[in-house]
Chain A
Amino acid sequence: MSSATMTAPREQKRHSLILWAGLVLVGLHIAIALLTFVWLPYDPTAMAGGRLEGPSLLHWLGTDRLGRDLLTQMMIGSRIALIVGIGAVAIGAAIGVTLGLLAAFASKWLDDALAATLDILIAFPTLLIAMLVVAASDTANLWSAIIALGIALSAIVARLTRILAKRVLVMDYITAARTSGSSWPKIVAIHILPNIWPTLSVNFALQFGLAVIAEASLSYLGLGAPPPNASWGRVLQEAQGTVYTAPLGAIAPGIALVSLAIGVNLLADGLRDTIDPTRRAR
């Protein structure tokens, strides 16, 4: 906090660089995802060329072992990844922030009970919970994966929200708000949420990355939807048998995953630093 109050111009330049890098990476994925709704190079389920072709003008990333166009599948993967990330984080944030605030305001024993429950939930690996839920639902359904991931993430969000909110609640400006006649819901809306939001949003970006990677892992383990709704994890799984002859099938999903996860995190960091008044220059 103290170093942030004197944001030097160089520091500022770094902030806007981070923001721009994030915007470009995430913007690229969003643009591709939107494009898939109106246009795709090929039918993702049809044989579009020979098997395991290398990159060419017709197939920029080549084809898979069934002759399907890899670029087409990668583009659909962007759409799936964004839906998974946004969906899981939205669910996790809605449940997690609500529970966390409740715990922060709850009487001591209820707070202790909630905190202990959250710790136990968090001890289970996110992926394991998601696997159980998806395996339990008979069709490999994207939405069951999203809901399972969202619930798993909500425990982490709730624990963080609880700690952050408690830290804000003891500040004198909360007491001042009460003696100013502000109601508790109003205090939450205008004092608590804005003050925990910067840390939360950076955490959401992290969770977004985790959710996308977890879904990719589910798909890689064979628990994901098949084409035309295949995620990058599924593409990776299908490519693993031919990784030596056609390595692009494994490299492309990896690069796509990493670029999206990093992009979202850079974007969240950059946005926080630009929006936060205490981090802006004088």
Chain B
Amino acid sequence: MTLVRVDHVSFGYTANRRILDDVSLDIAAGDTIGLVGESGSGKTTLLRLLLGLTRPDSGSITFDGKPLDPGNGAFMRTFRRQAQVVFQDPYSSLDPRQTIRSIIAEPLRSLKIPGDHAKQVGDALEAVGLERDVGTRFPHQFSGGQRQRIAIARAIVPGPRLLLADEAVSALDLTTRIRIVDLLAGLSKSMSLLFVSHDIGVVAALCRRIVILEKGRVVETGDTASVLANPKHPYTQRLLASVPRLSLNEVSS
């Protein structure tokens, strides 16, 4: 079943420069997709469109069969529960003046999700491998990897069906990175995951499918293993050639 369908979407921040050019892409329910491309290729921009933060200039995005329309308040409320995001920079993604508990509870409060919020926050903390009782502390009391876990807890607390991770492990050191990738791999069993990364090694370890973006165009897409074993597009070939073999081995070992 298709959860998200991106259909011939184009977008530019200004009228004279296209950032995304005729992008089409399907995300099946439960799938894990790696979105790979150079810096500036439009990965974050595509995520912003998928989150309904910006509208495409042309083309359409549907979520669960319904058009993703940022102006439709009723739709957006149910949509926000179902699509969540984790960012690259663990230092910018948590409000320094809020306790961990109120950071993670924000989606529960704002989306008026019923239930015992304190318990839901505790469960989310546990699910990302943190103690239940860290909720009273502030972000500056945690390491980068722990902060990323907190950001993931906030993303999963409303029970999303789609998790977008924008280079969520790029800012972390190697061992922490592997732990967070493991965590995401576990989560991906219960939700669709769109995982943005420059790191093809991590994508190979985590994602069933891969989408290669070059200058706002999807140049190649398919099964991760077969695309990596037999890249068709010259851009993919160049991208693979520039990856040191080392990182592939490290992550899969």
Cα–Cα distance between A96 and B48 once the two chains are bound (Å): 32
- The complex places the Cα of A178 from the Cα of B151 at a distance, in Å, of 14
How big is the A interface, by class?
Answer: 20 to 34
Cα(A183)–Cα(B109), bound, Å: 11
User: How many inter-chain residue pairs (CB < 8 Å) link A and B?
Assistant: 70
Binary contact readout A232-253 vs B (1 if CB under 8 angstroms, 0 otherwise) = 0000000000000000000000
B175 within 8 A of A: no
Report the stretch among A57-65, A119-127, A141-149, A167-175 that lies at the interface: A167-175
Task: Give per-residue flags for A156-180: 1 if the beta carbon is below 8 A from chain B beta carbons, else 0.
Answer: 0000000000000001110111111
Mark each residue of chain B from 71 to 82: 1 if its CB lies under 8 Å from any CB of chain A, else 0. 000001100110
Contact of B110 among A180, A194, A195 (CB under 8 A): A180
Which has the most chain B C-beta neighbours within 10 Å: A176, A276, A278? A176
- The CA-CA distance from A171 to B92 in the complex, in Å, is 5
CB pair A180 B154 closer than 8 Å: yes
User: Is B89's CB within 8 Å of the partner chain A?
Assistant: yes
Mask, B114-146, CB within 8 Å of A = 1, is: 000000000000000000000000101100000
B77, B103, B140: the one within 8 Å of A181 (CB) = B77
Interface membership of A13, Cβ < 8 A: no
Assembled-state Cα–Cα distance A282/B138 (Å): 9
Are B106 and A177 in touch, CB under 8 angstroms?
A: yes
CB of A173 within 8 A of CB of B95, answer yes
Tell me whether A278 and B107 are in contact in the complex, defined as CB-CB below 8 angstroms, given that A5-B140, A179-B80, A179-B85 are known contacts.
no
Q: Which residue of A lies closest to B53 (CB)?
A: A178
B110 pairs with A277, CB closer than 8 A: no
Chain B window 178-206, contacts with chain A (Cβ cutoff 8 Å), 1 for yes, 0 for no: 00000000000000000000000000000
Task: Tell me the residues in window 28-73 of chain B with beta carbons closer than 8 Å to chain A beta carbons.
Answer: 51, 53
Asked whether, in the complex, the Cβ of B94 is within 8 Å of the Cβ of A181, the reply is no
In Å, the complex CA distance between A195 and B151 comes to 19
Given contacts A172-B93, A173-B95, contact A182 B106 (CB under 8 A): yes
Taking a contact as CB atoms closer than 8 A, the residue among A175, A178, A179, A278 that contacts B96 in the complex is A278
State the main secondary structure of chain A at its contact with B: helix
Please state if B95 and A191 are interface contacts (CB–CB under 8 Å).
yes
Q: Which residues of B contact A183 (CB under 8 A)?
A: 110
Query: Measured between alpha carbons, how far is A141 from B85 in the docked complex, in Å?
Result: 57
Contact of A173 among B76, B93, B140 (CB under 8 A): B93
- What B residues does A190 contact at CB under 8 A? 98
Query: What is the CB-to-nearest-CB distance from B157 to chain A, in angstroms, rounded to a whole number?
Result: 9
Bound-complex Cα distance A52 to B85 (A) = 75
Interface residues of B (CB under 8 A from A): 51, 53, 76-77, 80-81, 83-85, 87-89, 92-98, 103, 106-107, 110-111, 138, 140-141, 151, 154, 158
16 additional A-B pairs beyond A173-B93, A180-B107, A181-B76, beta carbons within 8 Å, are A172-B92, A173-B94, A175-B53, A175-B87, A176-B85, A177-B95, A179-B83, A179-B84, A180-B110, A181-B107, A182-B106, A183-B110, A190-B98, A277-B138, A277-B140, A278-B138
15 A-B residue pairings within 8 Å (CB atoms): A171-B93, A172-B87, A172-B92, A175-B53, A176-B154, A177-B106, A178-B53, A179-B80, A179-B85, A180-B158, A181-B107, A186-B110, A195-B96, A195-B97, A278-B140
